[in-house]
Amino acid sequence: MPHESVIASDPEILGGTPCFRGTRVPVDSLIDYLEAGDSLDEFLDNFPSVSREAAIAALEEAKALLTARR
């Protein structure tokens, strides 16, 4: 059974910006928080529609894409 991504892109939602599935929260918001030195908990406190599991899964997806052998 294929794994469904926690990241969705829909042209009707924020112009197709990749968001956490079922929300209007752009995935790059998580990256921005972490890049600024904020914790995952701070991000989750500010975006309660994103679960901890979804945030971690998005980071794991990004890692897999960046570290996949070409």
Annotated domain spans of the chain: 7-67
Positive or negative, the Cα torsion across 40, 46, 48, 49?
A: negative
Question: Does residue 2 have a pLDDT over 80?
Answer: no
Per-residue burial over 19-40, b if 16 or more Cβ lie within 10 Å, else e, is: bbbebebbbebbeebeeeeeee
Question: pTM of this prediction?
Answer: 0.86
Give me the CATH code for the 7-67 domain, please. 1.10.10.10
pLDDT tens digit sequence for 12-67: 999 999 999 999 999 999 999 999 999 999 999 999 999 999 999 999 999 998 89
- Cα separation of 56 and 6, whole Å? 10
Q: At 14, list the tokens.
A: 């924020």
Q: Which residue has the tokens 């929260």?
A: 25
